[in-house]
C-alpha cells in the first residue's frame, strides 16, 4: 500500500492544474471523451454503448414476452405486435444481446479496462486501432438500429439468418432490413477483429517486467483466449456474410438450391462460428468471476494452471461441436453420432472449470459483498445452463427438444449468467477503480436479489413449456390446438411476470449509479484488498496508469500467504 501513495501525490497536481486553469492544454470534451485513445475512456465507451444496447434488447424482450403472455393485446409502450414485428423483435433481441451487449461489455469494455491495468502498462499496444475499433462498432450499432426505419422494417429471420429465408426478399419481405442486418453484423465482426488483435498483442507483448505467462491474471488469459477463438471462428462467417449479401442484392446463388447453391452451407459457416462464440463470451465472464471469487474468498485460485489448460481444451474442442445445432437440419444422420460424442466431451473441461471455482471456496474467508454475490450466483446459475445442455447435445433427445422453449431456457441459463450476472459482478467490482467511488452495498444487494429472482422466474417455467412442446419463434400459440391450454398459458404469464420483475430490478441499478455519482464515498486505491496490478495505482488511474511503472514479483492470487502480515500480497510488492 505504501508504494501506491507516492504516485497519487505525483499525479494530483496535474489533475488540479487541468481543473483550475482553462489553458491551451486542456482537452476539449470531444478529444477527451469521444476521440480519446485512452484505453479507460474507450472501455467506458464500450460499456455505456453496450448497456444502452442492452436496454434496446430488453425492450424487445418486453415486447415479445408481453405478446406471449397476453396474445393480441395492446402492449404499453409497444402497441400491437404483429407477427412480422414479433419476428423482427426476436431477431433483434438475439442479435443485440450477443453481438452488441455481451461482446462489447465482456470482451471490449472489461478487456480495455483490465488488460493494460492488470498487465501493468500504460495503454493498449495500438491505441488508435483501439479507437477505430470502437468507432466501427458504433457505426455497426447505428446500422442495426437504422434497419428498423427502412422500407419493410427490420429483418425477422431469427439471429441465425438461415437462407433462403434470409437471402430472398420475396420470402422474408424485408428487402433492406435483411441486408442492413448482415452489414451491421459484419461491421461488428470487423470491430472485434481489430479489438481482438489489440488485446492479444497487448497481453502477449506489453506485460510489466517480471510478469511471466503464469503470472497473468485469469481474466486477462480468458479475454485473450476468447479473442483468439473469435478470430479463428469468425473468418468463414465473414466470407459467408459477403456471400449472403451478394445473394440478397446481386442475385447470386450461393445458398439458392434452385440454382445449384446449398442452404445448408450457411448453417455450417454460421455454427462453425456460432458455437465457439458461446465460449468467446463465456470465458471472459468466467475470468471476471475468478478474480472476484479469489479476492473475496481471500484464497489462491484452486489449480490456476489446470484452469488455463481446461480453457485451451475447451477452445480447441469448441471447433468440433458445431453440427449439434443441425442434428435434425437434414445433414447426414451419421454425422450426428460424431457430434454427439464431441459435444459430450466438451462437458468435461467445462465441468472441471466449475469444480475449480467451487473448490477455491473451500478453506476461504468468504466475504459476501455485492460483487461476490454476483460471482457466486454466476456459478450457481450457470450450472443449470450447463447440465441442461446435455439434453440438447445428445442427438436422441435433441430430436424432441430441438427448437423448443427448452432450448431457449437452456441457453438463457448460460447467457444471462454470462452477460448479465458476470457483467454486474465485474461492474460492481471494478467501478470503484474506474471512477474512484464506492457503490452502495444495500442498494446493490436489493438489485442483486430482485434480478436473480426475476431471472429464475423468467426461465424456469420455459423449461416446462418447452418440454410440453412449445416451439420457438411463435407469436401466438392460439393457432396450435395442442398448445392452447390454461396450464401452459399460466407458465407463459409467469415467465413474463419474471421479466417485468427483472426489468424493474434494474431501477435499483440506476438508483445505485446515481447514488454513487452524487454521494459515493472515495474508494481509495485498493478497496477490496486485492493483489492484482490494477489496485496498485490510483482510483481512477491517471493518464499513463502507473507512476512509476510497476514490476511484478509473484503470481496474481497470493492471498493469506502463511507468515505474511496482511492477508494479501500484491503482485508488485518487492519481496522483503
Partner 1 sequence: MSFAKPIATLRTSAGLPTGRLALWWLLASEVVIFGGLLASYVMQRLGHPEWAYDAEHTNVWFGAGNTIILLTSSLSAVLAHQAAQTGDGKKAARYLWLTIGGAAWFLVNKAIEWSGEISHGFTITKSGFWSFYYTAAGLHGLHVIAGATAMAIVALDAAKNKELQRVEYVGIYWHLVDVIWIFLFPLLYIAK
Partner 2 sequence: MISHAVDQVSTFAKDIDVLILLICGLVGFWFFVAEGVLFFLVFKYRAKEGGKAAYIDGTDPKHTRFISWPHRLILLCDVVIVVAAVRVWVEVKQTMPTPDQTVRVVSQQWSWSFQHPGPDNKLDTADDIKTLDELHVVAGQTVQFELVSQDVIHSFSVPVFRLKQDAIPGRVIKGWFKTTQTGSYDIQCAEICGIGHGAMVGTIVIEQPERYAEWVAGHAPVAALATPAPK
Residues that bind partner 1 (CB under 8 A): 37, 116, 121-128, 193, 196-198, 200-202, 204-207, 211, 231-240, 242-243, 246, 250-254, 259-262, 265, 269, 272, 544, 549
Contacted entry of partner 2, partner 1, none for residue 204, CB cut-off 5 to 8 Å set by kind? partner 1
Least distance from partner 2 to the Cβ atom of residue 356, Å: 7
CA 137 to chain CA centroid, nearest Å: 15
* Shortest distance in whole angstroms from residue 408 CB to partner 2: 13
Query: What SS3 state is found at 522?
Result: strand
Please return the burial class of 166, using the count of CB atoms within 10 Å of its CB with bins 0-12, 13-18 and 19+: buried
Return phi, psi of residue 125, to 5°: -65, -35
Which of residues 13 and 562 has its CB atom nearest to partner 2 in the complex? 562
Minimum distance of partner 2 from residue 499's CB (angstroms): 20
C-alpha cell at 515: 447514488
Taking the complex as a whole, how short is the minimal distance between the CB of residue 38 and partner 1, in angstroms? Answer: 9
Specify whether the CB–CB gap between 201 and 246 falls below 8 A.
Answer: no
Of these partners, partner 1, partner 2, none, which one is at the site of residue 362 (CB under 5 to 8 Å by kind)? Answer: partner 2
Closest CB to partner 1 among residues 237, 295: 237
Whether a cis peptide bond, with omega within 30° of 0, leads into 499 is no
Residue 559 β-bridge partners: 568
Cα(417)–Cα(415) distance, integer angstroms: 5
* Partner that binds at residue 243, options partner 1, partner 2, none, CB closer than 5 to 8 Å by kind: partner 1
What is the nearest approach in angstroms of partner 1 to the Cβ of residue 32? 14
Nearer to partner 2, 467 or 501 (CB): 467
From partner 1, partner 2, none, which one binds at residue 246 (CB under 5 to 8 Å depending on kind)? partner 1
Q: Which of 369, 333, 381 is nearest to 502 (CA)?
A: 381
Instruction: Decide if 228 contacts 198 (C-beta within 8 A).
Output: no
Distance CA 466, CA 574 (A): 57
Q: Is the Cβ of residue 32 or residue 128 nearer to partner 1 in the bound state? A: 128
Which residue number, 196 or 498, has a Cβ lying nearer to partner 1? 196
Q: Decide which of partner 2, partner 1, none touches 193; Cβ closer than 5 to 8 Å per partner kind.
A: partner 1
Q: How many CB atoms lie within 10 A of CB 79?
A: 10
E strand segments, 225-365: none
Q: How far is the CB of 107 from partner 1 (least distance, A)?
A: 15
User: Least distance in Å: CB of 243 to partner 1?
Assistant: 6
- Judged by beta carbon distances under 5 to 8 A according to partner kind, the member of partner 2, partner 1, none in contact with residue 476 is partner 2
Report the partner that residue 479 touches, choosing among partner 1, partner 2, none (CB closer than 5 to 8 A by kind).
partner 2
Distance CA 379, CA 191 (A): 30
Shortest Å distance, C-beta 388 to partner 1: 31
Question: What does 116 interact with, of partner 2, partner 1, none (CB < 5 to 8 A by kind)?
Answer: partner 1
Which letter, b or e, does each residue of 111-150 get, where b requires 16 or more Cβ atoms within 10 Å of its Cβ?
bbbbbbbbbbbbbbbbbeebbbbbbbbbbbbebbbebbee
- The secondary structure of 381-435 as a DSSP string is HHHHHHHHHHHHHSHHHHHHHTTBHHHHHHHHHHHIIIIIIHHHHHHHHHHHHHH
- Residue 206 contact, options partner 1, partner 2, none, Cβ 5-8 Å cut-off depending on partner type: partner 1
Q: Which is nearer to partner 1, 348 or 549 (CB)?
A: 549
| CB distance 92 to 60 below 8 Å | yes
Burial 233-258 (b: 16+ CB within 10 A, else e): bbeebbebbebbbebbeeebebbbee
Could you tell which of partner 2, partner 1, none binds residue 127, using a CB distance below 5 to 8 A set by kind?
A: partner 1
Shortest Cβ distance from residue 228 to partner 1 (Å)? 8
Residue 288, preceding peptide bond in cis (omega within 30° of 0): no
Q: Output 519 or 543, the one with its CB closest to partner 1.
A: 543
Nearer to partner 2, 3 or 347 (CB): 347
Min separation Cβ 227 and partner 2, Å: 26
Give the residue with the Cβ less far from partner 1, 142 or 204.
Answer: 204
CB of 278 to partner 2, least distance (A): 18
Residue (231 or 338) nearer to partner 2, CB:
338
141 CA to centre of own chain: 16
Which entry of partner 2, partner 1, none binds 234, CB below 5 to 8 A by partner kind? partner 1
Q: Which of 79, 209 has the CB closer to partner 1?
A: 209
Amino acid at each position: 500500500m505504501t508504494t501506491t501513495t507516492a504516485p497519487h501525490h505525483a499525479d494530483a497536481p496535474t489533475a488540479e492544474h487541468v481543473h483550475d486553469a482553462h489553458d491551451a492544454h486542456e482537452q476539449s470534451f470531444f478529444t477527451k471523451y469521444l476521440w480519446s485513445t485512452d484505453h479507460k475512456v474507450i472501455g467506458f465507451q464500450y460499456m455505456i454503448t453496450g448497456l444502452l444496447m442492452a436496454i434496446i434488447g430488453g425492450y424487445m424482450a418486453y415486447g415479445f414476452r408481453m405478446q406471449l403472455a397476453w396474445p393480441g393485446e395492446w402492449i404499453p409502450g409497444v402497441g400491437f405486435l404483429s407477427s412480422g414485428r414479433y419476428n423482427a423483435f426476436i431477431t433483434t433481441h438475439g442479435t443485440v444481446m450477443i453481438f452488441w451487449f455481451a461482446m462489447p461489455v465482456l470482451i471490449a469494455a472489461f478487456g480495455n479496462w483490465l488488460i493494460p491495468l492488470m498487465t501493468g502498462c500504460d495503454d493498449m499496444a495500438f491505441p488508435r486501432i483501439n479507437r477505430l475499433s470502437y468507432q466501427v462498432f458504433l457505426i455497426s450499432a447505428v446500422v442495426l438500429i437504422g434497419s428498423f426505419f427502412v422500407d419493410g422494417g427490420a429483418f425477422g429471420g431469427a439471429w441465425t439468418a438461415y437462407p433462403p429465408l434470409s437471402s430472398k426478399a420475396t420470402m422474408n419481405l424485408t428487402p433492406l432490413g435483411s441486408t442492413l442486418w448482415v452489414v451491421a453484423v459484419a461491421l461488428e465482426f470487423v470491430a472485434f477483429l481489430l479489438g481482438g488483435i489489440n488485446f492479444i498483442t497487448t497481453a502477449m507483448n506489453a506485460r510489466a517486467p517480471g510478469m511471466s505467462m503464469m503470472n497473468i491474471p485469469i481474466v486477462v488469459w480468458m479475454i485473450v483466449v476468447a479473442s483468439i477463438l473469435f478470430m479463428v471462428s469468425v473468418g468463414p462467417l465473414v466470407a459467408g456474410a459477403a456471400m449472403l449479401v451478394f445473394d440478397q442484392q446481386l442475385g447470386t446463388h450461393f445458398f439458392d438450391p434452385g440454382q445449384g447453391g446449398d442452404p445448408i452451407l450457411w448453417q455450417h459457416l454460421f455454427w462453425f462460428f456460432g458455437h465457439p462464440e458461446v465460449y468467446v463470451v463465456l470465458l471472459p465472464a468466467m475470468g471476471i468471476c475468478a478474480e472476484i471469487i479469489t479476492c473475496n474468498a481471500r484464497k489462491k485460485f484452486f489449480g490456476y494452471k489446470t484452469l488455463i489448460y481446461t480453457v485451451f481444451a475447451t477452445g480447441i474442442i469448441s471447433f468440433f461441436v458445431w453440427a449439434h445445432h443441425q442434428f435434425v437440419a437434414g445433414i447426414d444422420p451419421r454425422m450426428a453420432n460424431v457430434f454427439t460424442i464431441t459435444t459430450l466431451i466438451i462437458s468435461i473441461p467445462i465441468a472441471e472449470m466449475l469444480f475449480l471455482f467451487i473448490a477455491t471456496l473451500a478453506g476461504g474467508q468468504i466475504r459476501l459483498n455485492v460483487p461476490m454475490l454476483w460471482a457466486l450466483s454466476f456459478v450457481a446459475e450457470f450450472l443449470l445452463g450447463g447440465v441442461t445442455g446435455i439434453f440438447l447435445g445428445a442427438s436422441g433427445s435433441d430430436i424432441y427438444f430441438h427448437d423448443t422453449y427448452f432450448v431457449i431456457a437452456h441457453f438463457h441459463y448460460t447467457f444471462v449468467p454470462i452477460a448479465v450476472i458476470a457483467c454486474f459482478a465485474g461492474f460492481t467490482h471494478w467501478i470503484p477503480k474506474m471512477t474512484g467511488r464506492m457503490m452502495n452495498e444495500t442498494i446493490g444487494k436489493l438489485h442483486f436479489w430482485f434480478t436473480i429472482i426475476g431471472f429464475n422466474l423468467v426461465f424456469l417455467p420455459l423449461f416446462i413449456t418447452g418440454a410440453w412442446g412449445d416451439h420457438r419463434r411463435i407469436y401466438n400459440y392460439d393457432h396450435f390446438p395442442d398448445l392452447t391450454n390454461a396450464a401452459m398459458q399460466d407458465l407463459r404469464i409467469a415467465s413474463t411476470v419474471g421479466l417485468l420483475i427483472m426489468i424493474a430490478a434494474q431501477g435499483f441499478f440506476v438508483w445505485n449509479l446515481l447514488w454513487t455519482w452524487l454521494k459515493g464515498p472515495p474508494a481509495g486505491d485498493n478497496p477490496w484488498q486485492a493483489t492484482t496490478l490494477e489496485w496498485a495505482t490510483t482510483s481512477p488511474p491517471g493518464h499513463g496508469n502507473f507512476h512509476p511503472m510497476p514490476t511484478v514479483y509473484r503470481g496474481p492470487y497470493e492471498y493469506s500467504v502463511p507468515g505474511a502480515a496482511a492477508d494479501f500480497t500484491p503482485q508488485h510488492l518487492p519481496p522483503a
